[in-house]
A and B are shown apart, each in its own frame.
Chain A
Amino acid sequence: MDSADNMPGGFAGSETSSNYDQNEDPVLDNGENNPDVSYDVSETNSTTNKNENDEDNESNDEITVIPDIETRDSGASDTDIPAQHHQQAENEAKVEKNANLEPSDGRPPVPSRQILRNLASVDPEILAQASIGATENTLEPEYVVTDDLLQSKLNQLNAGFNNKSSQVQTLIRSATQNIRKTFNDIRTTVGALEHDYQIDWEFWANVVNDYESVVQNNSHALHSKIAAGIPKEVRGIVWQLVAQSKNYELEEFYLTLKSETSIHEKAIKRDLTRTSFYTAVDAVSKGEDLYNVIKAYSLFDPDVGYTQGMIFVAVPLIMNMTDSECFCLLVTMMKDYRLRDLFCPDMRGLHRQLYQFDRLLEQNSPLLYNHLVKQGIKSSMYASQWFLTFFAYKFPLEIVLRIYDIVITHGIEALLKFAVNLMLQNENKLLSLKFDKLLEFLKDHLFNRYVNDEFVDERRFSLRKRQGSSSSYYNLDSMVEDAMAIKVSMVDLAQFEREFDAIYASEKHRAEEIDELRHENGRLRHDIKALEHQFSVLNRDHVDIVQKMVDTKVMIPEIESENDDLQKAITQLRADLEELEAKMKAPSVSSSESTLDALKSPAIPQNIEEEIQRLLQVNAQEIEKCTELEEQLETLTVQDEELLEKLGKKRWWQR
């Protein structure tokens, strides 16, 4: 397509790319490629790019970045990615070319998705054909994918390095030189000693001196060497070189931070002694160093601060390097390996990885996936710990170190391979279990699959017992090998991430809506309360009024009867009045006589009046005497009759 014109190397035009048609467009937007995109642009316009990166790192908010890319969709971003391929093939000269190319491009509408796909899955093959040859062609298909992760990690790290200011680049370069020197020192001292096992010093020297060219030219060997475990003598060195983490400036900054106090100190100290690996760290007197690194990071990145789980992640680092180097690598992993997303307060990276894990599991074993769903088990219930601690939470350090080898070289996405592999390896067992047992198994027994046969009888015993036994308790090689065989395509991951972003955004939106509704609800509830209060006040008033009304009603008959009484009294009074008036009138009619009488009577002299009175009294007395006499007469009559009777009786006797 058009892209072929812009592409140095013209991978886009290759036949393989045609397998990926436009129906997979969305891939373009995926965050996985974001870093590449922004880094590359920076070459042309370093300031804007830097801002973008800062934004990415600080806000940790993918959403803000994505639209940006979409707008540039077919323009700059496309050209960037090919540029990286180019880099791989022909190194720095190409970078310059790319830088030159870009402005002159004039942003033609290149179908970017194709290029991305090339980067994601087709690339290694093309690379193999283009630059290497025979050895690469023998790669098994799984390894193609593996290479893909390793390759893209390198691309991304290179891009990140190029994006840094030249001063920082110089610092990192000189630090790298220093590490190489250390490697050579180790090589001469350790190499002189006899070992049970052989270290391929030549190979590791190549890796240390020019990792990029080993990736380009000897990737098959590199893969198998890494999968077999980086020799512990040079592990820390290789990690730092691959991650390009050592940085004198940062190390100095660490020394400053180390002496400052962090609000997380208490929590860190408390958790340090609670971390199972601590004994291992303490055994090599690095407990203090570990504490300082974690504390310094909490100061360095206050938005993330301290999250439980960080200690687990830092332990393998501190076991393999000095504290300041450990700090640098931790910072690098946080930034360039997107570890920060895992630990930031909303843990978006964790949720994203869990989602990717779910989808990969669904792809690899729909049966198991459905079984888990039916049992109501979500990946966050058991896999959060895996991703937050790189499997360090429940599993022994020896395993974790091997996982680290892969993570540092392949990127954090490799954790998904380990996770999916563990599930698939235990598929039958998991399918036979129900909820409780299933969770228990997921938590504690997944690695039992890799216990070496000679120890199988011991499986029942506790973890501690295992740690006491020799380091070959687990068959680590086959564990890593199996995990690496799991197909994890960057295209799919990108797709999953996009889906996750959409889900996350919609859930965030929903959560916001719910929050808003809750807020609204609270407000309304408050209103209701106020109204209820008003209502109760009114109600009380109402009751008072009703009471008064009742009282009044009760009073009415009383008043009515009173009224009646008064009416009566009034009529009575009126009648009296009339009577009186009538009386008054009557005398007034005969007033002439009465007045005469009235005039006369007073004319009767006082003495006459008295005389009348006296006579009346005399009269009364006479009447009284008369009555007495009458009574005497009566008495006498009675006596007379009695006597007559007596006389009659006497006569009868005498007869």
Chain B
Amino acid sequence: MELKSYDKYRMSFAPPTTSVKLVLLGEAAVGKSSLVLRFVSNDFQENKEPTIGAAFLTQKCTIGERTIKYEIWDTAGQERFASLAPMYYRNAQAALVVYDITKPASFIKARHWVKELHEQASKDITIALVGNKHDLVEDDNDGDDSSLRKVSIEEGQKLADEEGLLFFETSAKTAYNVNEVFVGIGSKIPEAPLLKPQQPQATDGRIDLSTGTAPAADGCAC
């Protein structure tokens, strides 16, 4: 009986899927489009063509009992396309700032993007810092001088800690950690209806308060 009424509420107030607008930012050729391709189609293309302007894709992702529909804007990386970027990140709830762990310059660029997002994007945007192309270094031994890796995990983690970002190292090529990024972001995104007063669980005061405050805390944390 209770379950039924709850379902009814879900039907009438909270759609079972939450739409999350997500934008990818980062230097040219770090693998933004490849990450998206891996996430959306579980596919990989060597020498994927450069993105001109921006590309839009969607993908659903189930996290626990929630389903999140990602509306992904994959932007062009080349510097002069940067003027187009604000249009895409302005209303985004999530952002992936991607760099190439074999290219120090791309990490510097990532820093700039994080700064820009903090200054210009929505305040409660969830940002994940993503060091891509992990496949190029996965056979590395520790302290190997010939390693292609130019940005250490520690550097990435440090930036993420300082700026309050999620942090992942991924490989779009091998699919390593790619889904984790989106799951990680999804679980950090507050369930939108909970923030509204007319949320479905509003009938039950106790549950309501506890679940209602949790996302708010999350929001503050990032």
Contact = CB atoms under 8 A, between A and B. Distances in A.
Asked if A and B bind, the verdict is: yes
Interface of A: 267, 270-271, 273-276, 307-309, 312, 343-347, 378, 380-382, 384-385, 388-389, 393, 436, 439-440, 443, 518
B56 A275 contact: no
Contact of A440 (B48, B56, B80): B56
Nearest to B119: A518
Interface string B40-59: 00000001111111111010
A436 B28 CA distance: 25
B1 interface: no
B55 A384 contact: no
Contacts of A275: 49-50
B78 interface: yes
Contact residue range for chain B? 20 to 34
B54 A384 contact: yes
Given A274-B47, A347-B81, A436-B71, 17 more contacts: A267-B78, A270-B28, A273-B47, A274-B50, A275-B50, A307-B80, A308-B28, A308-B51, A345-B79, A346-B83, A380-B84, A381-B54, A384-B84, A385-B53, A436-B56, A440-B56, A443-B55
Interface in B67-82: 71, 76, 78-81
Interface SS of A by simple majority? helix
A267 B51 CA distance: 13
B24 to A, nearest CB: 15
20 contacts: A267-B28, A267-B78, A271-B29, A274-B48, A274-B50, A276-B49, A307-B80, A308-B50, A308-B52, A347-B83, A378-B87, A380-B53, A380-B87, A381-B53, A381-B54, A388-B52, A388-B53, A389-B52, A393-B49, A393-B52
Contacts of B54: 381, 384
Given A273-B47, A274-B47, A345 B56 contact: no
Contacts of B29: 270-271, 274
Q: What 8 pairs between A and B have smallest CB-CB spacing? A: A384-B53, A385-B52, A439-B56, A308-B50, A345-B80, A274-B47, A308-B78, A385-B53
A312 B52 CA distance: 11
A309 B84 contact: no
Nearest to A439: B56
Contacts of A380: 53, 84, 87
Nearest to B29: A270
Interface in B7-34: 28-29
B80 A347 contact: yes
A384 to B, nearest CB: 3
Contacts of B53: 380-382, 384-385, 388
Contacts of A378: 87
Contacts of B56: 381, 436, 439-440, 443
Interface in B57-102: 58, 71, 76, 78-81, 83-84, 87
B215 to A, nearest CB: 26
Contacts of A436: 56, 58, 71
Contacts of A518: 119
Contacts of A389: 52
Contacts of A343: 80
Nearest to A438: B56
Contacts of A274: 29, 47-50
B22 to A, nearest CB: 13
Contacts of B52: 308-309, 312, 384-385, 388-389, 393
B104 to A, nearest CB: 14
Nearest to B88: A381
Contacts of B80: 307, 343-347
A7 to B, nearest CB: 43
Nearest to A383: B53
Contacts of A440: 56
A307 B83 contact: no
Nearest to B71: A436
Contacts of B47: 273-274
Interface in B92-146: 119
Given A267-B28, A346-B83, A308 B76 contact: yes
A584 to B, nearest CB: 87
Nearest to A393: B52
Contacts of B28: 267, 270, 308
Contacts of A443: 55-56
Contacts of A273: 47
B59 to A, nearest CB: 10
Contacts of A312: 52
A43 B169 CA distance: 63
Contacts of A271: 29, 50
B84 to A, nearest CB: 6
Contacts of A276: 49
Contacts of B87: 378, 380
* Residue among A271, A274, A312 with the highest chain B CB neighbour number at 10 A: A274
A583 B83 CA distance: 109
B70 to A, nearest CB: 11
